[in-house]
Amino acid sequence: MIVAAVLGAGPTLYNNLAFLTTLAIYILLAQGVNIVYGFTGYLPFGFVGFFGAGIYGSSLAIVYWHVGGYTAIGLGALTSVVAAVVLSPLLRLSGAYFALATLAASQALYFIVANESWTFGESGMSLPLIFSPTALYVVAVVAVTVTLIVVFYVRDSHFGLSLRAIRSDAVSAAMAGVNVVRTRTIAWLVSAAIAGVAGALWALMTSAFYAETPFDLTISVYAIVFALFGGVRTVVGPVVGTVVLYSLYQYIGISNPQYFELIYGLLIVVLVLFLPGGLSSLVGGRGDRPAWWNRLVRHRAAPESAPEVAP
Amino acid sequence: MSEQTSLRASGLSTGYGALRVLWDVDLTVAQGRTTVLLGANGAGKSTLLKALIGLRPLWSGTLTYEDESIAGWSPERRIAAGMSYVSETGIFAGLSVEDNLRVVATGLRTATLRQRLERTYEQFPLLASRRRESAGALSGGQRKLLSLAKGLVRDPRLLLMDEPSAGLSPLAVGEMVDTLAQVVAQGGVTLLLAEQNARVLELADVVTIIGGGRVTFAGPVEEFRSTADVAEQFFGLARPAPSTGAPEET
């Protein structure tokens, strides 16, 4: 609710709709990563493949079938889900093998799209303007809101509990009566659908592009790092991570890309070393907080209570 | 005899890849009769339990549970049919104690779940006091209790438990045996315990010994105790080179 309100008020705070819409798209991607990585432990390095599938699913539907904007978004999500169904056998793999296999799959999709004439691989895609920037931003905010509700559900429901159990120990989860394959596949498809919606929004916003941009691996990396920076397995974490890091990118990354890469790299190191649970772990349950933070908070609290005890 | 058979395996063999671990194992678990599978490390006890619950495919042989052939069933289906399996390390370290118990309740109604949780906390007060804590923060003995409690949440009729005593101090083993005795006393669930600790024999009605992947003895515990030869053989008494205590990799 708060996030939706803040996003809704976004344009009055900072009037750059392209930036805000892209921010919303990255929030969607980070939440997609959150569901598949945070809750199931599968790191989808090729997550950008679902984004690209959503982009091309929606774009081709617009070009060939002249569908409306909402239908295009739906078809974008559907295309990603179909891709996820095709790739669902990859869930048999684990760890680095899974990450690399999804990466390979996303690159395979890229090469198909970039080389076929019916996907306008040579000439590049160009779409008619369907939504005004303001209307598109409103649609993006709605998509983010719906996604956050989905993540809320995943976090608090028995379904989410099953996912976390599978992440902890798949065999024991099966022994607890959890249908491991089905539960994991649903999470996989949901996260693909979210990436597909993000892709469709991006297509509607950008309207003219070549295949290199939608399938750029940096998008995967950003979505993963944004989610981790904010904290996976939470609802707000990936949102905060995306807002902080993407804003940083907006201010530094475009004018001085080399400094951004440097800061970005340092942030990743800091994250891994000191904040493995992400920003949200600082305010989470005591057991989730990093030890150094607990010490810091205790030290700061101590002087305030000291004078009361002294007299 | 009027007692009913809970689980029956005959001619069961299985293994890993090219490695055969069990040869023609016959095992009968009668309802209400606690069966202890004795065997040294590497004898094939854990593999047998895994084959019984469906984590290892059968290479040959038949397997029935409550007179139904379950050889082709998935583990989930066996669990839904009233079987339960507690592995040696069967907890979710990343979840809270309560969430560990709640996971097991997949498919149960909310009211039933609440009632089962209350019952579990009555039976295991220690878990009640630590319900919000991460299961990873529990001690070895507490983890064992939690894994047993998890195994009981769904009201199983047959509980397979792998090494209830593994990794526990002698004191904690005693407590685990007492807890299991309470579970038996409450009735309703038949226990099949894979063990190598003689303390657990206190619970046994029937003993089956596995050595080198084959059943070398099967009979009532009295027969096991009176067959001095078997007992000696198993516990390595009066033998120059005791073999049972040696920790080998399973």
Residue B113, chain A, CB below 8 Å: the answer is: no
Q: What is the pLDDT of residue B231?
A: 65
Sign of the alpha-carbon torsion through A86, A92, A95, A100: negative
Q: Average pLDDT over chain B, rounded to whole?
A: 87
Distances (CA, A) of A220 to A103, A144, A215, B36, B211: 9, 18, 9, 52, 53
Structure tokens at A40: 């199931």
Q: Measured at the alpha carbon of residue A302, what is the angle toward residues A296 and A306, in degrees to the nearest 5? A: 165
Helix (H) or strand (E) run with residue B150 in it: helix B140-153
Structure tokens at A138: 């409103």
Alpha helices in A66-179 (DSSP H): 69-87, 95-115, 133-156, 158-168, 170-175
Mean of pLDDT values over B200-228: 88
Structure tokens at A60: 């081709």
Q: What is the DSSP letter of A236?
A: S
Q: What is the pLDDT of residue B119?
A: 92
Buried b (16+ CB within 10 A) or exposed e, A67-76: bebeebbbbb
The answer to whether the beta carbons of residues B38 and B196 sit under 8 Å apart is: yes
Residue B106, chain A, CB below 8 Å: the answer is: yes
Q: What is the pLDDT of residue A104?
A: 95
Residue with tokens 């939608």: A214
Chain B residues within 8 A of A177 when measuring between CB atoms: 76, 79-80, 104, 106-107, 154
Q: What is the DSSP pairing of strand B5-16 with strand B19-30?
A: antiparallel
Is the pTM higher than 0.95? The answer reads no
Q: How far is B1 from chain A (nearest CA, A)?
A: 33
Residue A169: closest C-alpha in chain B:
B92
Give the HSE-up count for residue B53: Cα atoms under 13 Å, Cβ half-sphere: 29
Q: What is the pLDDT of residue B211?
A: 87
pLDDT confidence tier of residue B45, bands split at 50, 70 and 90 = very high
Nearest to B76 among A167, A168, A174 (CB): A174
For helices A69-87 and A180-206, the axis angle rounded to 10 degrees is 140
Nearest to A172 among B84, B90, B134 (CB): B90
Residue B112, chain A, CB below 8 Å: the answer is: no
Q: What is the pLDDT of residue B234?
A: 66
Stretch among A143-147, A295-299, B47-51, B80-84 having the lowest mean pLDDT? A295-299
Regions of chain A with pLDDT less than 70:
1-4, 8, 12-13, 284-288, 298-311
The answer to whether the beta carbons of residues A235 and A155 sit under 8 Å apart is: yes
pLDDT confidence tier of residue B250, bands split at 50, 70 and 90 = very low
Mean of pLDDT values over B224-238: 65
Q: What is the number of CB-based contacts under 8 A between chain A and chain B?
A: 65
Q: Which of residues 162-181 of A touch B (CB under 8 A)?
A: 162, 164-165, 167-169, 171-179
Q: What is the pLDDT of residue B3?
A: 72
Rg of chain A over Cα atoms, rounded to whole angstroms, equals 21
Calpha distance A67→A69 (Å, rounded):
7
Chain A residues within 8 A of B148 when measuring between CB atoms: none
Greater confidence, A188 or B40? A188
Torsion over CA of B173, B177, B182 and B185, rounded to 10 degrees?
A: 180
Q: What is the pLDDT of residue B48?
A: 95
The answer to whether the beta carbons of residues A103 and A43 sit under 8 Å apart is: no
Q: What is the DSSP pairing of strand B206-211 with strand B35-38?
A: parallel
Distances (CA, A) of B220 to A87, A146, B109, B183, B195: 53, 62, 40, 20, 16
pLDDT confidence tier of residue B241, bands split at 50, 70 and 90 = very low
Calpha distance B27→B36 (Å, rounded):
11
Calpha distance B154→B112 (Å, rounded):
10
- DSSP bridge partners of B208: B37, B218
Q: What is the pLDDT of residue B239?
A: 41
Q: What is the pLDDT of residue B70?
A: 95
Q: What is the pLDDT of residue B21?
A: 92
Calpha distance A72→B5 (Å, rounded):
60
Nearest to B85 among A162, A175, A179 (CB): A175
Stretch among B15-24, B107-116, B238-247 having the lowest mean pLDDT? B238-247
Q: What is the ipTM of this complex?
A: 0.75
Helix (H) or strand (E) run with residue B123 in it: helix B110-123
- The yes-or-no verdict on residue B192 having pLDDT over 90 is yes
Q: Do residue B76 and residue A178 have CB atoms under 8 angstroms apart?
A: yes
Structure tokens at B130: 């630590």
pLDDT confidence tier of residue B246, bands split at 50, 70 and 90 = very low
Name the phi and psi angles at B133, rounded to 5. -80, 160
Q: Which of A162, A172, A232, A233 to mutate to test the interface with B (most CBs of B within 10 A)?
A: A172
Residue B91, chain A, CB below 8 Å: the answer is: yes
Q: Measured at the alpha carbon of residue B146, what is the angle toward residues B183 and A92, in degrees to the nearest 5? A: 120
Residue B82, chain A, CB below 8 Å: the answer is: no
Closest CA to A191 of A28, A27, A21, A26: A28
Q: What is the pLDDT of residue B81?
A: 93
Chain B residues within 8 A of A169 when measuring between CB atoms: 90-93
For helices A180-206 and A17-33, the axis angle rounded to 10 degrees is 170
Amino acid letter for position B16: Y
Let me know if B203 is exposed, middle or buried by CB neighbors in 10 A (0-12, 13-18, 19+). buried
Q: Which of B46, B53, B73, B76 to mutate to test the interface with A (most CBs of A within 10 A)?
A: B76
The answer to whether the beta carbons of residues A198 and A57 sit under 8 Å apart is: no
- The yes-or-no verdict on residue B244 having pLDDT over 70 is no
- The yes-or-no verdict on residue B75 having pLDDT over 60 is yes
3-class SS shares of chain A: helix, strand, coil, % to 5: 80, 0, 20
